[in-house]
Structure 1
Amino acid sequence: GLMVATVPRNIVKLEHMAITALSEVKASFEKINLYIKYSFLISFPFIIGFFFLAKLVVLVFFGYGEFTLADVELTAEAIKYYALSLAFMFIWAILYRAYQVLNWLKPVFFIAIAGILVNGFLNYIFVVVYKLGIKGICLGTFFAYFVLCFLSYFGLKLKSDPLIMKGSKNGGKDKMSNL
């Protein structure tokens, strides 16, 4: 199910288009935000399509041979819920390229470890505690990608705006209070 749900990402390869633009502007947040918007714009039709037409997709491509009706049902359910993660899969790849452009790869290791731990924890919660089965695995992946993207974006924000970490230098007034 995951392989079918990620076909749009593997065809479009938005991160390969983004790396050139990001490297020209040293991964500015204007460019990062632009590509995040593109990610949502590109993935939204696929999310809707996969969510509502997952069974049809599986039947057309896999509904013959050794695939039984139970296999079709389980694969369609996996595609349906893995498709929810598609936008964050696009965004994570772009944020990773931003870290590459900035030559700041050490945090990526810790962010990736956090994503793996969150995925494992949520899979346990959704599958074992709430007994959601394949939906639980897919939803765990969705939330893990969300956390991965959130931590990556926040890390880049900290790198680009040192006042977030150190506090303001203008007597306690931040940028918003000067408006």
Structure 2
Amino acid sequence: MTTARPSLRERRRTETTALIARAALDLALESGWDAVTVDEIAARAGLSRRTFFNYFATKDEALLHNAVPWDEDLLDAFRASTGPLLGALEELFTAQSASGRHDRDRTLQVMRLVEATPELLPALLARIAASESVLAEAIVARDGLDEFSAAACAAVAGSLARVGGMGWLSGRQPDPVTSTRAAWTALRALLP
């Protein structure tokens, strides 16, 4: 799956989103998540409170924004792809893992923070559910499956993404792409 170069506006939005997320994580590591405020995150990022809310509805969203994100260009390419659904999903997840959007150290820091701050778990689970919902909608658009079947496919693919991610984060796999491919290979071993 190839993607077009993002516009200047899209690049700036991506950069500002990452800046806010970095500020949220840095402050959480310094002070503990409960002590962090939206105003502090905005100030650390060099932005106004209003600008913060143009990007995120809550401080939890800012911290977890990179958890299960979708690259819209990759989703568009998935919707336009042909061939078996399983192969198209594998290609989508492999391309997503190759996008370079995942920073191992940051991801591990966020995971540790979620483990230490149970109040963040519902927000993370909501992000996962939203991501799987977006994928299910893309599957319906691509393959015309009913909503239940598409949701089941999205949940399986999401589980493989989590297993692949954990393989990389734990060091059992050398990089996100190799880990993603290993997870999909394991699934294929179950199929006739």
When the two structures are superposed, what TM-score results if normalisation uses the length of structure 1?
0.30
Structure with the larger RCO, 1 or 2 (CA within 8 Å, 6+ apart): 1
Larger Rg: 1
Larger helix fraction of residues: 1
When the two structures are superposed, what TM-score results if normalisation uses the length of structure 2?
0.29
